[in-house]
């Protein structure tokens, strides 16, 4: 089969991998805190456990990226990660204590973190010069998140939080099935060409610092959003609908992101998106009781994640050559979602306390977002891809 005829099929399986990968996030990120609370853990323990989910992204993606860039076997690593994470996720069915779950999370997320950075590189290399098609393929992930964040919200309301391990395992098996369809090809790397050392210039430094601060600001959302809405009187199913509203806005933004980046440039869009994020967290702090302001805050997810992520992936892809692309995506993921996400979730757990200071965690989140925006201003204008 020629490369031209094989490409649509390959992109279809890549889109399916995104669907299942982010469907898993749609189950775990909003509802894992509720799941842990039902098993008897307090806010500090929940914050620590959720921080592990983020913290393994600091080391694991970089380990897998070094293997991927050295061997070029990115598709094989996606399959390995999907298989091992499905097996290790079985540990969630056992009602273990705090230490047991901490070890369980550490092991399964180590393998799970082998997947996304490689999938991003495979997608962009498969698209070639048509990088504008990234948003369309990536939107399958948002669709998976959307479907399962709503569905699981209603499922928990009907059957309780112990439905999570069953749904999660099914999604991991679906991800494995789709990953097995990816070709076992190696990246086209000229091994006679000298390997240039990975260089972090001024633009990349400020970009990564901004990404860390932005993900720190998202700590309350990723770890405590559903708990926060329950605290002020919303149900799990209502919380799922609000999360879905944000993801729907994200999908729409992915469709328009390539056009916006071509017109305004990455740097300007990052500034606008992060400013919108700061406003979003302030709305969560002071206006969560209003169903309309809560809806507005969720619509701003189009900027918080949709536009920021599309611009960031493009920025990383253009600042690292083919020998360092997996490392570049892994570095971005490990520092932003890993360091930033872990610090944000851990800090939120301490601020949250018994729930009476929940609003303060969102205020701190808004401050982190503003600092992230200032870091973007430090990126040289000439360094950002257009």
- Residue 130's pLDDT is 65
Domains and CATH numbers, the chain: 7-185+201-383 (1.20.1250.20)
Identify the weakest region by mean pLDDT among 19-33, 107-121, 128-142: 128-142
At what angle are helices 3-38 and 43-71 packed, to 10 degrees?
160
d(CA 33, CA 339): 19
> Dihedral (C-alpha) 90, 95, 97, 103: value to the nearest 10 degrees?
0
CA distances, 23 to each of 125, 128, 200 (Å): 24, 26, 33
- Closest of 66, 98, 52, 61 to residue 81, by C-alpha: 61
Q: What pLDDT was estimated at residue 370?
A: 96
Q: What is the pTM of this model?
A: 0.72
Residue where the block lists tokens 């990383």 = 316
Q: Is the pLDDT of residue 121 over 80?
A: no
Residue 30 has pLDDT above 80, yes or no: no
Q: 167-198 pLDDT, tens per residue? A: 999 999 999 999 888 777 665 555 555 555 56
- Measured CA to CA, the distance from residue 146 to residue 141 in angstroms comes to 9
Residue-level pLDDT at 209: 94
pLDDT score of 300 more than 90: yes
Question: pLDDT-based confidence at 8, cuts 50/70/90?
Answer: low
Per mean pLDDT, which of 25-34, 52-61, 65-74 is the most reliable?
A: 25-34
Q: What percent of the chain has pLDDT over 70?
A: 89
* Structure confidence by residue, pLDDT tens digits, 150-169: 888 788 888 888 999 999 99
Mean pLDDT of 333-346: 82
The pLDDT mean for the chain works out to: 82
Q: Are 372 and 213 in contact (CB under 8 A)?
A: yes
Instruction: Report helix, strand or coil for 289.
Output: coil
> Could you give the CA distance from residue 49 to residue 334 in angstroms, rounded to a whole number?
17
Q: Vertex 291, ends 288 and 295: CA angle to 5°?
A: 85
Higher pLDDT, 194 or 270: 270
Q: Mark 16-25 as b/e (b = at least 16 C-beta within 10 Å).
A: bbbbbbbbbb
CA angle 164/249/58 to nearest 5° reads: 55
83/248 Cα distance (integer angstroms): 29
User: Residue 188 has what pLDDT?
Assistant: 56
pLDDT 10s digits, 196-225: 556 677 888 999 999 999 999 998 887 788
Q: What angle do CA 208, 213, 215 make, to 5 degrees?
A: 95
95 CB burial (10 A radius; 0-12, 13-18, 19+): exposed
- Alpha helices of the chain — where are they, by DSSP H? 3-38, 43-71, 74-88, 98-112, 116-127, 134-159, 164-179, 202-217, 219-231, 236-264, 266-286, 291-299, 301, 308-319, 325-333, 341-352, 358-377
Residue 195 backbone phi and psi in degrees, to 5: -85, 120
> What's the residue count for the chain?
386
């Amino acid at each position: 089969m020629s490369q031209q005829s094989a490409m649509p099929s390959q992109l279809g399986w890549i889109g399916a991998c995104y669907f299942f990968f982010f469907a898993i996030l749609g189950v775990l990120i909003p509802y894992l805190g509720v799941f842990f609370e039902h098993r008897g853990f307090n806010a500090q323990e929940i914050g620590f456990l959720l921080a592990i989910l983020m913290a393994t992204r600091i080391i694991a993606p970089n380990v897998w990226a070094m293997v991927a860039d050295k061997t070029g076997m990115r598709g094989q690593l996606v399959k390995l990660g999907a298989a091992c994470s499905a097996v290790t996720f079985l540990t969630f069915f056992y009602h273990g204590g705090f230490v047991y779950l901490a070890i369980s999370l550490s092991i399964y997320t180590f393998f799970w973190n082998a997947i996304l950075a490689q999938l991003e590189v495979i997608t962009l290399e498969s698209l070639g010069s048509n990088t504008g098609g990234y948003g369309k393929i990536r939107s399958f992930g948002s669709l998976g998140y959307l479907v399962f964040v709503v569905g699981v919200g209603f499922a928990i309301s009907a059957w309780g939080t112990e439905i999570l391990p069953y749904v999660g395992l099914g999604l991991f098996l679906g991800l494995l099935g789709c990953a097995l369809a990816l070709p076992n090809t190696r990246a086209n790397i000229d091994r006679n060409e000298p390997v240039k050392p990975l260089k972090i210039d001024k633009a990349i430094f400020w970009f990564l610092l901004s990404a860390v601060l932005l993900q720190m600001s998202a700590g309350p959302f990723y770890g405590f959003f559903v708990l926060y809405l329950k605290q002020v009187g919303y149900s799990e199913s209502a919380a799922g609908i609000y999360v879905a509203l944000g993801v729907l806005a994200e999908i729409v933004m992915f469709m328009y992101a390539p056009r916006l980046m071509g017109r305004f440039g990455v740097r300007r869009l990052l500034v606008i998106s992060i400013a919108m994020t700061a406003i979003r967290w302030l709305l969560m702090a002071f206006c969560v009781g209003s169903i309309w302001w809560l809806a507005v805050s969720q619509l701003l997810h189009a900027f918080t994640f949709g536009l920021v992520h599309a611009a960031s992936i493009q920025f990383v892809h253009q600042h690292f050559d083919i020998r360092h692309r997996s490392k570049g995506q892994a570095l971005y993921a490990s520092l932003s979602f890993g360091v930033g996400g872990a610090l944000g979730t851990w800090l939120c757990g301490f601020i949250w306390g018994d729930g009476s200071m929940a609003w303060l965690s969102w205020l701190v989140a808004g401050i982190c977002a503003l600092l992230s925006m200032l870091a973007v201003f430090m990126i040289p204008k000439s360094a950002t891809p257009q």
